[in-house]
Amino acid sequence: AQTVTQSQPEMSVQEAETVTLSCTYDTSENNYYLFWYKQPPSRQMILVIRQEAYKQQNATENRFSVNFQKAAKSFSLKISDSQLGDTAMYFCAFMKHGSGGGADGLTFGKGTHLIIQP
């Protein structure tokens, strides 16, 4: 079974700053997907970014980018030019390739509560 660890329970930064959320994972799988999900106060889980393990290039979505280090099993999320609307819980998640979710579903970290201060 895989595990996902988010070592920062809470972070707080000023608006417009850059912030990095850390995530490490442990797996014996070679082919998998990694995700960052955002959960704002509305509670709706929103996919922020997805990384395929066989791709060396780091995924990017507008102000959001990841630093994927496969050998180190590290998958950090960088948010540039942070905005008040980025305030949310952020969850790192792992999915085995070919599982479609499966009985393992997504394995989630415990989350990081990010607060953007005005």
Partner 1 sequence: DVKVTQSSRYLVKRTGEKVFLECVQDMDHENMFWYRQDPGLGLRLIYFSYDVKMKEKGDIPEGYSVSREKKERFSLILESASTNQTSMYLCASSSAGEAGEKLFFGSGTQLSVL
Residue 55 structure tokens: 């791709």
- Let me know: does 66 contact 58? Beta carbons within 8 Å: yes
- Residue 91 binding partner 1, by CB under 8 A: yes
Residue 115 structure tokens: 């607060």
Binding region for partner 1 (CB under 8 A) out of 12-20, 37-45, 59-67, 76-84: 37-45
Binding region for partner 1 (CB under 8 A) out of 15-23, 44-52, 58-66, 74-82: 44-52
The distance of closest approach from Cβ of residue 44 to partner 1 in the complex, given in angstroms and rounded to an integer, is 5
Binding region for partner 1 (CB under 8 A) out of 19-27, 41-49, 64-72, 73-81: 41-49
Q: Which residues have CB under 8 Å from 111's CB, separation 6+? A: 6, 9, 39, 89, 90, 91
Q: Return the DSSP state at 59.
A: P
Q: Which residue ranges make up the site for partner 1 (CB under 8 A)?
A: 4, 9, 33, 35, 42-45, 47, 50, 52, 91, 95, 97-106, 108-111
